[in-house]
Every structure is written in C-alpha cells, then in structure tokens.
Amino acid sequence: MIGVFDSGFGGLTILRGYLDKLPEYDYMYLGDNARMPYGNKSQDVIYGYTKEAVDFLFKKGCEIIIVACNTASAKALRKIQEDYLPKNYPEKRVLGVIIPVVEDTVKIKNIKCVGLISTRATIESGTYEVELKKLAPDIKIYKQACPLLVPLVEEGWVKRPETKKILKKYLRPLKDRNIDALILGCTHYPVLIKDIKQIMGKRVRVLDSPKIVAEKLVDYLKRHSEIEKRLKKNKSITFYTTDDEKRLKEVGEKFLGEKIDSVKKIEL
C-alpha cells in the first residue's frame, strides 16, 4: 500500500492527485486530526508525531509513505529519512511534498522571483528557501504567512466572499513584487487554487502541488521497481483519523472530491 499522512485534512488534496495519476494502487490515509495543527508545535514534538504515524502505517502494510504535510515535511522528514528509517525500516521509504514542488519551480523558464504562501511554521522553518537556493542560488523569494486560510477552508468557506477578500489581502504584497511563480506551501491551499490563479493573473505560474507530487511519485516508482513490485493494486482506500470519524468523512469529502465510505478512529 501507499500511505499518505497529514496532520489533518489537507493531505487529502495530495491523495486526490495520486488517485488521478495512479488509480490502480491501494492507499491508506491517516489524519492526525486530534493533535492538529502542527504549526504551533516544536520540532521535537512534530518529529515524535510523525514517527508515530510512520510506525502505524508501516505496521498496517504500507511500503512507501508520503508525508503530505508541509510542516512535518519541513521539520521532521529529514530526520525520519536519515536516522529512523535505516535503523527500523531499511527497505521502506518516506517521501515529502516540498522537494517535488521546489524541483518543478526552478524548471520554469526564466524564473527569477518566487512567492510562497504557507503557514507560519513552514515559513519559519526556512525549508522552501533553503531547497530553492540549493537549485537556484540567485532566485528571489518572497514569503507570506496565511494563518486564516486553513480554518476557512476547513469550515467550508471556500466560496464565501469573505474568504476571497482575505485571500486578496494575503496575495497583494506578492503580486506587487511581480513574482514569476507562486508556491502553495500548504496542502489546504489547492482547494482555493482557482481563486488564487484569478487573483494572481495569467502572468504568474501557480504551482499545482497535488499534480506535481503525483507526477513525481509516478517517476519514483518507475525508478524503484523493487518498491513498486511490492505494492498491491486493488484500487482500495482505507481512511484513519485520531479524532472524530464523522468530521473526517464530512470535511474530507470536500478535499478529496469524492465520497468517503468509512473512516476508522485510532490512537497513536
């Protein structure tokens, strides 16, 4: 199975991307809703939460896990990959959502100036900036924390005029900088991508994170046949949450774009 882990609902946009590109595989989704948001937690706490989620998904039969949470990808993924996996699951893999988007960003022709919107925690981690500078040292990066967007999306206010006004306020400083591309550094934000594109205008390339991450997984599995061969292909999806099953089902369907039949509650 392919495991997808997030602190809440946003990772379902990433799962949606996988279902579009790789529909034949079995998936397992885990939302740590009881302990969200991760953005106000310390790096040690986030690492501990991520490690527990990785353990759970591997023990349930996952061969590869995608940490579909920008905060966990920024603050815990490297340590999971470099320290935890070699000692505990040497034949399995854990991937994140930041590197694929960064790699696609720097491939944009004549890219000079990039905007980033995300949670405060992801911006404060500096991960996007570090990874972008590795591949494109001269690139200019402008960042904007958007703390109100996650709760607005989760409350179903996507099409409300209030949300669009707040979105315009957040995006205005980046638009004024004449950025060439915009990175959506939170997995909730693709739900708002139509409005974001409209506000930013045709000149700005808005990176579609779920699509990019899914395409990278397609490529990864082609290059790692030893993992791909172990993946089951029954088109099944299992959903787990650490909080209310009904809420994950109701809110999650808005992110996934399709019906969620059942959700199981677990403790980590």
Tens digits of per-residue pLDDT, 151-205? 899 888 999 999 999 999 999 999 999 999 999 999 999 999 999 999 999 999 9
Say whether domain 2-96+211-265 belongs to CATH 3.40.50.1860. Answer: yes
Give the strand order in the sheet containing 113-118: 140-145, 113-118, 181-185, 205-206
Residue 145 has which token pair? Answer: 């924390």
> What is the CATH code for 98-208?
3.40.50.1860
pLDDT at 162: 95
pLDDT at 180: 97
pLDDT at 77: 95
Kindly name the residue from 62, 69, 113, 146 that is annotated as catalytic. 69
Q: Which residue's entry shows tokens 């696609």?
A: 104
What type of residue is 61? Answer: G
> What is the residue extent of each domain of the chain?
2-96+211-265, 98-208
> Integer distance in angstroms from the first to the last C-alpha of the chain?
19
Reply yes or no on whether 146 is catalytic.
no
3-state SS, residue 94: strand
pLDDT at 156: 86
The answer to whether the 2-96+211-265 and 98-208 domains have the same CATH topology is yes
Beta carbons within 8 Å of 214's beta carbon, 6+ residues apart: 14, 17, 18, 20, 21, 22
Kindly name the residue from 62, 113, 146, 186 that is annotated as catalytic. 186
| pTM, two decimal places | 0.91
Q: Return averaged pLDDT per consecutive 10 residues of the chain, 268 residues in all.
A: 94 95 97 86 92 97 96 92 96 95 94 94 89 96 94 89 96 96 94 96 95 96 95 96 94 92 94
